[in-house]
Chain A
Amino acid sequence: MTTKSTAISARLARLRGTLSAEEPGARGLERMARNPGCQRLRALTIAGITPATAVTAIYQEPDREGQSPFAIGLGNRYEAFLYGAGAASLLQLYRDAGRLLLAQAKVVNMLDLAPGSSPYALQRRELLTRRYLAQKLNGDPNAPNLIIQARLTVSLLGVEHPIAPDVLVAADTDPFYRPAEVKSYPDRNGKTDPSDIRGACRQAAVAVVALRQLASKLGVAQPDQVVPPLADLVLRVTGSFTPTLRPMTLQREVSSLLASLNQAPKNLAELEMLLAGVGGALDDQATLDAVPNRYQPNCREFCALAPHCKAQAVQDTDPVLLGVPAREALASAGSLSRALDLLNGTGAPPRTLEERALQERMREADAERAKAVR
């Protein structure tokens, strides 16, 4: 570890207080980019605390996040099916799609080369992944076509965080690998749950960023040329384990993730100043509450703190309870109760020009509503 990253680690440890560092993984990193306005989520991710730990260890509330055991079991079985028999099903999928030729059947499964979850095994997977990717960049025809459970890292504040993309795929003629996310969601064409697709795309975006960072370390001058913002989603036919292949473009997801990562050093300095003013660490409930959040309805898709933040929004009568457009429309009031006061003429009169303008708009809209229902 370099001196710089040691210093960063010490600062992060101070922010965490008594809590141990947790790896965010691809889910944690993409989560941070989903709600860039939420300082609380960013603070936790940067410091190395997952929202689930914040809920249970700091707020002492039950954790309602997480997949059902049935979904987890189904996902594990589906992956075992795809990776079994030398990844026969995956090979067939890519051959049918014309992405791999018959002779391109070089499959490497990291779970075979470095079995187990000991630190040695994980380190070995990282080294082997780096070796194979270097082999590919050097144009070696023996570089694998499919790498299962590779181990990459994403640098955040100079600290390397490991991620494990499900599959990396490359034909012999491809310059480098493309990530593929395997999900056991049924593929319903356009009717597949959009939140599931969003989550999978964002996780794949993390793998794209990781590949670019590694390509850069291996001497590639323009990693974004070698690793375009593309990934594959491998879902399954409804009612069976037959896989389906969906190539996805991830320009927006990759851009938002990169912006989030690039902003992290500034965020760390701001966070330290904020906590210095409050006088605590993130393991303290009052200190964490002092870090501003930005609740929005889709937070429940990806953040364990969503119920807590929603309860806070209810207490504050935050306009976002009526949806994100309502937050923007009622921004000058700041809360639903103030907006009602302005509409009904109760409470204090408008204090600013924006409040007066809002009052007029609401009263006009209310008059239209009354006329319409008469």
Chain B
Amino acid sequence: MSDHTVGNAGDSGDQRETRETRRDRSERADRGDHAERLRRDLARCSAELRSLNEVFNQRVVDPGMPGSNIERLQRQIERLTQRQSRLVTELLIAASSPSTSSRSSSSSSVRNREDALLAPSEPTAPEEPSESTVLRFTDSGDGASSSATVAVRHRSRPMRETVLDTLAELEVVAAPRAVSDIAEALYGEAIPVERFASLRRDEERAYINNPLRRPVWIVPAINCVGLAAIPRLVALSSWPAEERLVGSRTMRTAHLRTLLRLLNFRGRAAGESHDLRSARFDHLILQYARSVPDAFDWGGTPYREPDGEPDWERVAAAVEVELAQIEPADRVEREAAAHRLGKLSDRYQFWGAPVVAEGGQIERRNTP
């Protein structure tokens, strides 16, 4: 219903016009703020890419540098480039989007934005989500922190966007509980874990209705054995197949990679002199690092509490040691499964192959 026809009974025409003018002005101010935030984020993203490329150049010419380190850095650069593309597209849309009243559903404005993203005439139509502007860290490469960043959240940000952003930060498959905990630490937004089941069903239903409707989907992880979905783990459809597959070592490597990301987040938050922000990550890091050998010196009690102040660099080093032992074999298993997955239809590549029971019957799934 258009806001131009909505009004309280008994309102005069002047009162309605005043309300509409105030609303339009507010929307214009919002759009201006939004564009400004996008430019700031783009500047930070560009600076981060520049420093990553410098590190990449140094590593490439270092004969002692393992290829796996270079490959990991390459993937980070690719993801950052994709994020930069998304920000540019959002900036273009923000600059060109028509006035819409605040009463229009947020879903329709998102749809408008997504339709704009998918329009064939758009030269920069990306395949990435229109992520809301949120906390972004910069890394100048030498450990020095950037100027302070503050979590910027849209009013009542949809759960889907928070999940998208959190997974984009984590870069590994994750359980809903982990996504919820980390989103709360990153953005101060708690996601109810019980809503993930309906989110998963809605995503698949929307994909089946129109696969091109969204550039990125929240999809289940896929197991390497039968290429079926693992509903209790989530991933992003924009990730390469091997990053969405789960082998016998993957949950462990994902746990360790998540821990490294948490240490990274903490380090940057601490650099902003916001003790409260870095403390949000301490509890999570302790929880994740409990199972990492040599991450801490444990006290004498059976409750496994670290003895003394944690040494975060020691934790990171211990994680890298374990990753070096298990990640190569994990990658081999996932890449082999990715090769098999690539032979399936797009739908099964994202949502998992159907489970075939003995006798050839296909198990019916809950989604249409």
Contact = CB atoms under 8 A, between A and B. Distances in A.
A282 B57 CA distance: 80
B291 A103 contact: no
A107 interface: yes
A105 B231 CA distance: 22
Contacts of B175: 84-85
Interface residues of A, number: 35
Interface string B194-226: 000000000000000000000000000001011
B357 A124 contact: yes
A242 B303 contact: yes
Contacts of B333: 142
B40 to A, nearest CB: 35
Interface in A84-130: 84-89, 91-92, 95, 102-103, 105-109, 111-115, 118-121, 123-124, 127-128
A112 B252 contact: no
Given A85-B178, A92-B291, A242-B303, A107 B252 contact: yes
A86 B254 contact: yes
A86 B225 contact: no
A86 B325 contact: no
Given A105-B326, A115-B232, A242-B303, A89 B290 contact: yes
A144 B246 CA distance: 13
Contact of A88 (B255, B326, B358): B255
A147 to B, nearest CB: 10
A86 B233 contact: no
A121 B361 CA distance: 12
B312 interface: no
B80 interface: no
A95 B225 contact: no
A109 B355 CA distance: 17
Given A114-B355, A120-B363, A128-B225, A85 B255 contact: yes
Contact of B358 (A105, A114, A123): A123
Nearest to A146: B248
A111 to B, nearest CB: 8
B357 A123 contact: yes
B307 interface: no
A237 interface: yes
Contacts of A222: none
B290 A86 contact: no
Contacts of B322: 102, 105
Nearest to A240: B303
A91 B225 contact: no
B251 interface: yes
A269 to B, nearest CB: 33
A85 B303 CA distance: 19
Contacts of B357: 119-120, 123-124
Which of B177, B230, B232, B251 has the largest number of chain A CB atoms within 10 A? B251
A242 B291 CA distance: 11
Interface string B285-307: 00010110100000000111000
Contact of B302 (A91, A95, A113, A237): A237
A242 B232 contact: no
B43 to A, nearest CB: 36
A112 B226 CA distance: 11
B226 A86 contact: no
Nearest to A89: B291
Contacts of B16: none
A85 B293 contact: no
A98 to B, nearest CB: 11
A102 B322 CA distance: 7
A111 B232 CA distance: 10
A165 B340 CA distance: 32
Contacts of A120: 355, 357, 361, 363
B251 A86 contact: yes
Nearest to A145: B248
B249 interface: yes
A127 B356 CA distance: 12
A112 B223 contact: yes
Contacts of A113: 223, 225-226, 228, 230
14 contacts: A84-B175, A85-B288, A91-B291, A92-B291, A102-B325, A102-B326, A103-B325, A106-B249, A107-B248, A111-B232, A113-B223, A113-B226, A113-B228, A115-B231
Interface of A: 84-89, 91-92, 95, 102-103, 105-109, 111-115, 118-121, 123-124, 127-128, 142, 144, 237, 240, 242, 244
Interface of B: 175, 177-178, 223, 225-226, 228, 230-233, 246, 248-252, 254-255, 288, 290-291, 293, 302-304, 321-322, 325-326, 333, 355, 357-358, 361, 363
Given A115-B230, A242-B302, 17 more contacts: A84-B177, A85-B178, A85-B251, A86-B251, A88-B291, A89-B290, A103-B326, A105-B249, A107-B249, A113-B223, A113-B226, A115-B231, A115-B232, A121-B363, A124-B355, A142-B248, A242-B304
Closest 6 CB pairs of A and B: A86-B251, A92-B291, A88-B291, A106-B248, A120-B363, A105-B252
